[in-house]
């Protein structure tokens, strides 16, 4: 995939629209919430002497957060690329 800066305004609009649809999807949000809850539960249940396993689970949790931030970034990049309206 191209760098988002190299895309046309129309391509950015398509990506932003797809991202919004995904972020507003009940199925996506339900699955994402369940995944996060499961990871948090696993982190809390991991014995203290298993720091590497807790770190692995935490990194999985953070990767999910970063994924959602990337989707939001597609929307933000499109909004920033829009011509600014004058007065």
**CB 15, CB 2: distance < 8 Å:** no
Say what the pLDDT of residue 10 is.
92
Half-sphere exposure of 7 (CA within 13 A, CB side): 17
Residue 26, in any domain of the structure: yes
Residue 22, in any domain of the structure: yes
For 27-76, how does the pLDDT look when each residue is reduced to its tens digit (9 = 90+)? Answer: 999 999 999 999 999 999 999 999 999 999 999 999 999 999 999 999 99
Residue 86, in any domain of the structure: no
What the block records as the tokens of 50 is 């298993």
Say what the pLDDT of residue 36 is.
97
Residue 39, in any domain of the structure: yes
Residue 2, in any domain of the structure: no
Residue 85, in any domain of the structure: no
Residue 71, in any domain of the structure: yes
- Count of domains forming the chain: 1
Say what the pLDDT of residue 84 is.
67
Residue 4, in any domain of the structure: no
Q: Is the model's pTM score more than 0.85? A: no
Residue found by looking up tokens 């699955």 in the block: 31
Question: What residues make up the domain containing 15?
Answer: 9-80
What the block records as the tokens of 48 is 């203290």
């Amino acid at each position: 995939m191209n760098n988002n800066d190299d895309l046309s305004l129309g391509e950015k609009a398509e990506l932003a629209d797809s991202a919004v649809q995904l972020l507003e999807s009940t199925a996506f949000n339900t699955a994402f919430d369940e995944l996060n809850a499961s990871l948090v539960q696993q982190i809390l249940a991991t014995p203290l002497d298993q720091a590497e396993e807790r770190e692995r689970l935490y990194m999985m949790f953070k990767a999910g957060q970063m994924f959602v931030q990337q989707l939001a970034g597609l929307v933000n990049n499109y909004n920033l690329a829009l011509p600014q309206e004058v007065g």
